[in-house]
Structure 1
Amino acid sequence: MTYLLEVDGVTLTYKTPQILVTATRRVSFHVNQSDRYVLLGPSGCGKSTLLKAVGGYMSPTEGEIRIKGRKVTEPGADRMMVFQEFDQLLPWKTVFENVVFPLRVTGKLSRQEADERARDYIEKVHLTRAIDAYPHTLSGGMKQRVAIARGMAMEPDILLMDEPFAALDALTRRRMQDELLQLWADTRFTVLFVTHSIAEAIRIGNRILLMSPHPGQVKAEVEDVESAGGTEGGATRLERQIHDLLFSEDKVQDADDKVVAYG
């Protein structure tokens, strides 16, 4: 079976001025079409580094990453990234211009088609009223919605989201989670989402990969999150279960070992 995304025994290293850092060690998982797949673990476990590798911005020192069976060797329009920083937009361009820019650059659509698609995704994230606004006039949550619209407008195979709501206040973060889930319900896109919040992982994901502290390795994989977390009291029980798994002293598991969570 060919999965949408396969991460197969991936070890990632990078150099600092002093040492060679091993960010992840032999991490394996797969993502299916329309999955909301979450990488969850403490700071320093290599989640963001792994996301960059899936994006094609760095190469594994061991193992392989594949999209639809094709080895990832460089960035591509089939993978779009959304970061947590608010300054990822071009400040001299309006909301519309930020969203339409990559569509025009790729040249795969006519100008009219690119414009229509940009307007459509701006509407999906409820920013039509701000379509001519510049980033400095937008709130943090609005800027993130522009970034999501820009990524979604490219209609990638997978949207890569690196703690996109971490810098927002609690109420805005909850609203952005709701909007992301509604957008997913409307379009059924595939997302690989990084967070260190257990509650956010349960809310966003249908599958969660638990990673150990540095260097990042697979602790467990939680399947069927929606069933386990959707019952009365289920989210609380699942949060406790995931916490215990993350912070247990057990050795990391082989990639084929899974924890299947039920409500």
Structure 2
Amino acid sequence: MKLHKASAAAAAALVLSLTATACGGDSDSGDGGGKKITVGIKYDQPGLGLKTPDGKFTGFDVAVATYVAKELGYDAKDITFKETKSADRETALARGDVDFIAATYSINDERKQKVDFAGPYLLAHQDLLIRADDNIAKGEDLNGKKLCSVTGSTSAQNVKKDFAPKANLQQVGTYSECLNGLLSGAVDALTTDDSILAGYAAQDQYKGKFKLAGLKLSNENYGIGVKKGDKEMVDKINAALAKMVKDKAWDKAVADNFGPANYQNEPAPKIGNIVK
């Protein structure tokens, strides 16, 4: 009987131990200490957030997220990168699937109703990607030309509505299709955020073949998304972003990820300064 009681006590102690270990794996507090943190990124944007065939993650957003996580107390090995597509970002934060999101996440009033933002950490602009030997000086020059973007893109619709109503808009499933069309001459320009365009142009197979038109058709303030109401996390991330700029790690991340495309980036934005 005593042996039975001892075994039961040991089993109970084991259960408690396992429970404590499991709780220790949570990343809600953001204070490191061997815990894990889950960060939402894009998997399919070269130069920003890309999962390579060997399972590694590269890009400017990844560099920023890794720096921020380190300042929160997490080593690179403690970070789990989770794909968060544009349509899923608010839901992923609300459910707690991720601790924060760094995924070309433009700050706007509609999104601020659902999530909180740290940053901004990059000011991007809608632009055009064109062939290296071509020139498009202004949006109006696209009238009569073939403009490519992905299906449902607001960028392409903005060009048609605000700058070139007579542009021949071709919408396809992926940016890669637009790039192939641009390379072959089937289309004259590809439009989306300049940071995204620079990332594609910097890929080895496209180096020297494309360039950015440099038109700055809109302002896109990239922020780090945090669950609504988590002011403590926002403050910690803002402090990390400010430090990243101060110690020049931000400049290095820009050069490493956008340099080959000759991306004329804006200076690092001040925290809380949203350019309309």
Coarse TM-score class (shorter-chain normalised): under 0.3
| Alignment TM-score, normalising by the size of structure 2 | 0.27
| Alignment TM-score, normalising by the size of structure 1 | 0.28
